[in-house]
Structure 1
Amino acid sequence: MSTLVAIAITTGILSGIWGWVAVSLGLLSWAGFLGCTAYFASPKDGLKGLLLSLATTLSGVFWAMVIIYLSTEVGIEIIGYVITAVVAFLMCVQAKQAWLSFIPGTFIGSCATFAAGGDWQLVVPSLVLGILFGYSMKASGLWLQQKLAKPEGNLVTAE
C-alpha cells in the first residue's frame, strides 16, 4: 500500500471521528479542519510540525484579536484598514523567529478568528484539537503503511 493511500485511509476515518468530537464538545468542526490543514501544510513533520502549527495558528488568533479590538476602539473605518495593513505586516515579519516561520499558519489562525466573529475562546480549542487530529492522521497513516509494507528479502524459493 502506498503512503498516500494509507494516510488517506486514516485521514478519512479520523475526519469522521473529528466531526463527531467537534459536535459533541460544541466546537467548530470547520476550524478544526483548518487546524488539520495547517499541520498538513507545515514545512516540518512530526512533533516539530505540530509545534510550529500550534504556535503560528495561535499567533494568528492573537493578531486577529488585535485587529478586532483596535478597529473597534478607533471606530473610523479607514483607520481599521490601516490597522489591518500594519498587523498583516507584523504577521509576516514575526516569521523571522523560527518557531513562527510558517506564515500560512498565522493567517489560518487569523482567518478562523474572523470567521468566528472574534470568538477566540471557541476558535482556540477547535484549532488545537484540529492540529492534533492532523498530526494523528499523518502519523497513523505512516504507521499503517509501515505495518502493511511487504518486507524485502523474504522471498520464498522452491527447492
Structure 2
Amino acid sequence: MSTLVAISLTTGILSGLWGWIAVSFGLLSWAGFLGCTSYFASPTGGVKGLAASLLTNTTGVFWAMVIIESSNFVGLDILGYVITAVVAFFMCIQAKQAWLGYIPGTFIGCCATFAAGGDWQLVLPSLLLGGVFGYLMKATGLWLHNKSNQSSDAAGFNPEH
C-alpha cells in the first residue's frame, strides 16, 4: 500500500471519529480541522511539528483576543484597524523565536478565534485536539504503510517494486 493511500485511509477514519467526538463534547469540528490542517502543513512534521503547530495556534488565539478586546476598548473602527496592524506585526515578529517560527499556525489560531466570535474557550480545545488528530492521522497512516509493506515483503510480493 502506498504512503498516500495509507494516510488517506487513516485520515478518513479519524476524521469521522473527530467529527463524532467534536459533536459529543460540544467542540467546534471545523476548528479541529483547522488544527489538523495546521499540523499537516507544518514544515517539520512529527512530534516537533505537532508542538510547533499547537504552540503557534495557541499564540494565534491569544493575539486574536488582544485585537478583539483592544478594539472593543477603543470603540473607534479606525483604531481597531491600527490595532490589527500592530498585532499582525507581532504575530509575525514572534517568529524570531525558533519555537514560534511557524507563522501560518499563528494566523490559523487567530482566524479561528475571529470565526468563532472570540469564544476562545471553545476554539482552543478544538484547535488543540484537532492538531493531535492530525498527528495521529499521519502517524497511523505511516504505520499502516510500513505494516502493509512488511507483510507484502514477507510473502515475497511487493507491488511497489
TM-score scaled by structure 1? 0.95
Residue 98 (1) aligns with residue 130 (2): no
Superposed counterparts of 1:10-159, under 5 Å = 10-149=10-149, 150-151=152-153, 154=156
- Take 1:116 and 1:139, find their aligned partners in 2: how far apart are those partners? 29
What is the aligned-residue identity percentage?
A: 73
Match of 2:6 in 1: 6
Measure how far apart 1:151 and its partner are: 2.6
Distance 1:83 1:98 in 2: 25
How many Å separate the matches in 2 of 1:78 and 1:107?
22
Post-superposition offset of 1:44: 1.0
Could you tell me which runs of 5 or more consecutive residues in structure 1 were left unpaired when the two chains were aligned: none
SS of structure 2 residue aligned to 1:151: helix
Task: Tell me how far 1:45 sits from its aligned partner.
Answer: 1.4
- CA displacement at 1:129 relative to structure 2: 0.4
Per-residue deviation, residues 7-56 of structure 1 (Å, max 9, x unmatched): 00000000000000000000000000000000000001111011000100
- Computed over aligned residues only, the root mean square deviation of the Cα atoms, in angstroms, reads 1.3
Partner deviation per Cα, 1:79-102 (whole Å, 9 max, x = no partner): 000000000011000011111101
TM-score (norm 2): 0.94
User: What is the aligned length?
Assistant: 155
Structure 1 segments, 4+ long, off by >2 Å, are: none
- The CA deviation at 1:117 is 0.3
Partner secondary structure for residue 27 of structure 1: coil
Structure 1 Cα separation of the partners of residues 115 and 122 of structure 2: 11
Counterpart code for 1:98: A
